[in-house]
Amino acid sequence: MSITPIITFKAGFCDVDSSRRPFKVKPSEQSGYIYLYSEDDLLHFCWRERSAPIDEPELDLVMVPTDGHFVPYDPKTQPSSAVKPDGRVFILKFLSSSQRYLFYLQSKPQGRTGNPNWFSPRDLKIGEIVDKLLQGEEVDVARELASINNSDNDDRRGNDNDETMEDVESHGGASDPQGGSGGAGAGATGGDIRDEGEGAREGGADGGRAAASGTSDAAMAVRNFLDSLKGGNQGGNQGEGKLYPLLSDLLTPPVTVPMARQATAEQVDNLLSFLPPSILVLSQQADEGDTATEPTAAAIQAAKEAMSLGQKKALLEKVLRSPQFHQSLASLTMAIRDGGLPSIADALSVPVENGGYLKGSQMPLGGGEAVEAFVEGVKKSVQKK
């Protein structure tokens, strides 16, 4: 697969320790790159180790336009009790999900005092470019970076291993040198990401290593389904006050993967029937010819017959671990919260109380109450069967 990045810059991946409160962030020692590229009109947000090939990212997220934001973590806006990170941390957040990804810049800090927390104009511009790309805007990266005025910075360019051109060149990829890592180091203290907005969630984090080929089709299928329901999604905010988990928080890999592994052959085939047909065909024909066209019924059936039970379960597990699956669940949750419960429940044949409407009215349930009603409807449907 040929990848031409739009922008590439040095950044490390942060691990979130949710075993204690407040949550802590610990930077990984791995030297890496964040890079974005477009494929089939879909934007990919990726992170890989510097020694890894450009087409083998450890994290590959297919971004829905306007859903994601890439913002700096500013300790000045946090409560005084929040721990201040020893580095320039950016947060990748989603409107449709409570999930968070945290990264720290690995270029040398450019402040005159050497403050590792200080975002230079160039640091902020890189974050701004990424955020604009996530909104679906067209950005001239070279021109944007050329407009930066770093007059307030030390003259440290000779020691900065993250030259401006490296961030702009889209063909550096796997041939880029290892280079050194600056900014937050392995011993950096983490910030409390609870104070940043919402508590960290790990739903779908396991899927960062899952291959993106095929799983983007699943995300698009859910997105198209949600778009088809927009006409009837009015009102429904009466239940906003009720707290209830997102579907992506309920259906995490530790919950779904064991179910797929223990499923019978009949159950596996039933689950596969809900996947976009192209995923089944791609899993068997990834290296064979052009798979861009819509697969025929014969090709779909042939792909199913060619797969062993173990291969089918492995495919299901890959989909269940993928970030796209969990982003789609979050999108479905938001559609239910925003008044789409009656239409969604009817389309999925899920029996919900009062048809998804408030008692004695034609106003759809909204917020946490709508999500709870949907989950309870699924439970009753399974119990009845």
pLDDT one-digit tens code per residue, 56-86: 999 999 888 888 999 998 767 666 655 667 7
- Give the integer Cα–Cα distance in Å for 253 and 206: 7
Position 228 scores a pLDDT of 54
Show me where the domains of the chain are located. 7-201, 208-384
- Give the integer Cα–Cα distance in Å for 10 and 49: 10
Give every CB contact of residue 61 below 8 A, 6+ residues apart in sequence.
44, 45, 46, 68, 92, 101, 208, 323, 324, 327
Worst-scoring range by mean pLDDT, 205-219, 275-289, 311-325, 341-355?
205-219
Q: Which two tokens stand for residue 350?
A: 């899920």
What angle (nearest 5°) sits at the alpha carbon of residue 304, between those of residues 300 and 307? 140
Q: Which residue has the higher pLDDT, 213 or 369?
A: 369
Strand intervals (E) in the chain: 7-17, 24-27, 32-39, 42-49, 59-63, 68-72, 89-94, 100-105
Whether 49 has a pLDDT exceeding 70, the answer reads yes
Mean of all residue pLDDT scores within the chain? 73
Position 32 scores a pLDDT of 94
Whether 210 has a pLDDT exceeding 60, the answer reads no
pLDDT band at 24 (very low <50, low <70, confident <90, very high): confident
Position 8 scores a pLDDT of 94
Q: Which residue has the higher pLDDT, 269 or 170?
A: 269
Residue with tokens 């064991």: 258
- CA distances to 26, 74, 193, 293 from 18, rounded to whole Å, are 11, 21, 10, 44
Whether 34 has a pLDDT exceeding 70, the answer reads yes
Position 81 scores a pLDDT of 58
pLDDT band at 19 (very low <50, low <70, confident <90, very high): low
Position 104 scores a pLDDT of 93
- Give the integer Cα–Cα distance in Å for 249 and 18: 14
Q: Which residue has the higher pLDDT, 18 or 277?
A: 277
Position 238 scores a pLDDT of 43
CB 365 within 8 A of CB 358: yes
Q: What are phi and psi of 173, to 5 degrees?
A: 50, -140
Position 117 scores a pLDDT of 82
Worst-scoring range by mean pLDDT, 99-103, 227-231, 241-245?
227-231
pLDDT band at 11 (very low <50, low <70, confident <90, very high): very high
Which range of 42-56, 92-106, 200-214 scores highest in mean pLDDT? It is: 42-56
Q: Which two tokens stand for residue 112?
A: 């005159």
- Give the integer Cα–Cα distance in Å for 27 and 127: 18
122-164 tens-digit pLDDT: 999 999 999 999 998 989 998 888 887 655 554 444 444 443 3
- Give the integer Cα–Cα distance in Å for 255 and 69: 28
Task: Indicate the burial class of 22 (C-beta count within 10 angstroms; 0-12, 13-18, 19 or more).
Answer: middle
- Give the integer Cα–Cα distance in Å for 194 and 200: 7
Worst-scoring range by mean pLDDT, 78-82, 161-165, 291-295, 344-348?
161-165
State the DSSP string of 284-320. Answer: HHTTSS---SPPPHHHHHHHHHHS-HHHHHHHHHHHH
Return the sign of the alpha-carbon dihedral for residues 238, 360, 332, 231. negative
The mean pLDDT of 155-184, rounded to a whole number, is 38
Return the sign of the alpha-carbon dihedral for residues 48, 49, 55, 58. negative
CB 280 within 8 A of CB 272: yes
The mean pLDDT of 30-41, rounded to a whole number, is 90
Percentage above 90 pLDDT, the chain: 17
Q: Which residue has the higher pLDDT, 331 or 213?
A: 331
What is the architecture, at CATH level 2, of domain 7-201?
Roll (2.30)
Cα-Cα-Cα-Cα torsion 308, 309, 311, 316, nearest 10 degrees, comes to 150
235-254 tens-digit pLDDT: 444 444 577 888 888 888 88
CB 299 within 8 A of CB 281: yes
Position 384 scores a pLDDT of 81
- Give the integer Cα–Cα distance in Å for 35 and 272: 32
